[in-house]
Each structure stands twice: as structure tokens, then as C-alpha cells.
Amino acid sequence: MRSKNEYLTGITFYRKSNLSHLQLLLYSHYLNTINKSIESILSYFVNIYLIDTYNLRNFRINFPTENTSYLEKIRLILPEIESILKQYKIFVDDGVIDYELLQLMSQSIVYGEIPSLSNKKYVYGKGDEFLKLKYYFFSDQSMLYYVEPFKDKYRNLYGLLLIENVKLSDFQSYQKSTIDSLIQNGYLMIDSNGYVKIREKNQLLIIWKLYLDGVVSYWCFPKSVRSIIDTMQEKGLLYFGNTLFSEPERKYFNYYLNKSEYTNGLDLRNKYAHGTNVFNEDEHKNDYLILLKILILILLKIENDLLIFENNKSINITSVRK
């Protein structure tokens, strides 16, 4: 049983979480053998690399010293995480980081409201037709893929029609009405040999990616595919997001850092900010590594946003910077 406001976790989530945790521990151990630290690497990345590479002037972060306890490190790194997000928001909005303006931003950061430098940053599915297409072509519950003589060889209609030659007469009567409607609406066709084939492979490929991940990055596709995405958006199948973080990423951060969305969130930000944390050094170390991992993800997202903007300034891209 689950609460309706619970962040969904499972075996795969914990396996990936533990793996990334171990990777961070191993990397930290390696850096210690050469008299370096993760904090020093991240400090260079923010205070030198991003400024020199992307002209992100005045962007900065402070890290705790090596001799401080993990509890002290956490209480320093949490406001620094919020600070760099506020700095980046000011940069996107105004083109320069103004620390006087930053000092006025006393409210907590909302991860879903931090803007991106680029419009059409993310693509999401929308509407009843999108949900139907996602279900008909990619769900193993639709049963449209169960066709003689292939039976259980495939788990969805898309895989079946992409690889096999299937005639309309191969479908059962309860399946034919849906297949006919997909043909009439231009998603399927009957080829010269009488086989049912996919008409718009790229369009369905986008829906498949959205079925798997819930979101796709618009600027990671070539121009030919982006034009298909634009057409699908005009038809009401998709909508764009222009925030730094995608919706799944926002949910991930909220799960770890607060309870704004989920009743089972770890609430790391609030429990340390309000002194309701446990007094156990091992747990402090574990929480600090989680926060470092989140910080690394945030910094990689910022670099990715800057890179997308730089690479696409000369081709149909509009900055949301005022």
C-alpha cells in the first residue's frame, strides 16, 4: 500500500542510488590518495571552469574546510546549494549575477521555477490522443501486439509492426477497429504488399521515449526530428518546458531535500536547517554524500544548459533571458 503523495521508489531506484553512493565514496578515497578532495574539484569547476568556459562571471560557491565535522559541512553546503541556484536564476533573467539582488532573495528556492537559457528545453506528452497512442503502441496491456503466429514474441504493437510483416486480416475482430482508426488518422498504413506498417516512425519514436522517461530534451535531437516535435506540439500532442530541471528531476530533488510534494521525502534541507536531525556521525556522513551528489547533478545541469545555449545561438533558439 502507498500514500497518494508518496515518491515511488523500488529495487531499481535503490540499486542505482547505492551504486552512485559507492562511486562517490571510491572517487573520494582516490582523491585523498593524491591529496585532493571532491570539494576542491567542485570548487574549481564552479569558481574557475564555468567562469572561463561560459563567461559565467561572479558565479561562486564556498565549501567547508576539511577539518570540520560532517554536521558542520552539511549546515554550510545546504545554503550554498540554494545560493548557486539563485545565482543562476539571476544570470538567466538579467545576464549578469547581481549580489545585491541575491541578498534580497531570502525565500526558499523552488526547483521547478528556475528558468533555462533556452526555450523548448524539455518536451512532455499532453492530451487524450497522446495517452491513447502511448497505450496502443507501447503498453503491454493493450493486447494489440498479440497476433498469430507471433503470439508472445513481442511486448507491444510498435515492436511487432517494426520487425514483422502483419496483414490486417491477422488481427482479431476486437483489435481491427483500433487498427483501422490508427490507419485513418495517419499513424499506420497498408503498404503495397498488403502489410500493416508504421507511417511516422520518428513520431512514434518520440512517444516511445516519453513512454519510457516521461520527458525528452528538445535540443538533443537533430533538426529533422525537432521539426516533427514542433508539428506534434502544434497538434496538441506535446508541450514544452523551459526550466533548468525537468519535471522528474524536480521531483527527485524535492524527495531528498524537502516535503513540498511527498510525504516520504527525506527532508534533508529542513531537518538540518531547523536542528531536527539525529546526532549520529555516520548518518551525517551519509547525508553529506547525498548532498554532494545532488550538488554535482545541479552543476552538470547548469553546464548542460549553458552548452545547449552556446551550441544553438545561431539556429532557431530564443533565450528566455530578459
Given a cut of 50, is residue 28 above it in pLDDT? yes
In degrees, rounded to 5, the angle at the alpha carbon of residue 220 between the alpha carbons of residues 257 and 51 is 60
Tell me the DSSP string of 205-236.
HHHHHHHHHS-EEGGGS-HHHHHHHHHHHHTT
How distant is the alpha carbon of residue 242 from its chain centre? 12
Q: How far apart are CA 153 and CA 133, in angstroms?
A: 21
**Beta-bridge partner residues of 10:** none
Amino acid at 44: Y
Please, are residues 129 and 250 in contact by the beta-carbon 8 Å criterion? no
Does the pLDDT at position 317 exceed 70?
no
Confidence label for 249 from pLDDT (cuts 50, 70 and 90): very high
% of the chain at pLDDT higher than 70: 97
For residue 200, give the amino acid letter.
Answer: E
Note the pLDDT tens digit of each residue in 85-120: 999 999 999 999 999 999 888 888 999 999 999 999
Nine-digit cell string for 73: 559541512
Q: Is the pLDDT of residue 20 over 80?
A: yes
* pLDDT at residue 68 is higher than 80: yes
Does residue 318 surpass a pLDDT of 70?
Answer: no
Q: Which triple of cell numbers denotes residue 246?
A: 525537468
Element (H, E) at 252: helix 247-257
| CB distance 175 to 143 below 8 Å | yes
Q: What is the 3-state secondary structure (H, E, C) of 292-308?
A: HHHHHHHHHHHHHHHHH
pLDDT > 50? residue 281: yes
**DSSP 8-state code for residue 34:** T
As a whole-number percent, the residues of the chain with pLDDT over 90 amount to: 86
Q: Largest alpha-carbon pair distance within the chain?
A: 74
The reported pLDDT for the residue numbered 314 is: 65
Beta partners for residue 241, in sequence order: 122
pLDDT > 70? residue 320: no
CB atoms within 10 A of CB 206: 21
pLDDT, residue 312, reads 87
As given in the structure block, the three cell numbers for residue 256 are 531528498
The pLDDT of residue 160 is: 95
In single-letter form, the type of residue at position 76 comes to L
Cell of 160: 511487432
Of 133, 134, 135, 169, the C-alpha closest to 149 is: 169
Cα–Cα distance between 77 and 85 in angstroms, integer? 13
- Predicted local distance difference test score (pLDDT) of residue 137: 97
Statement: residue 196 has pLDDT above 70 = yes
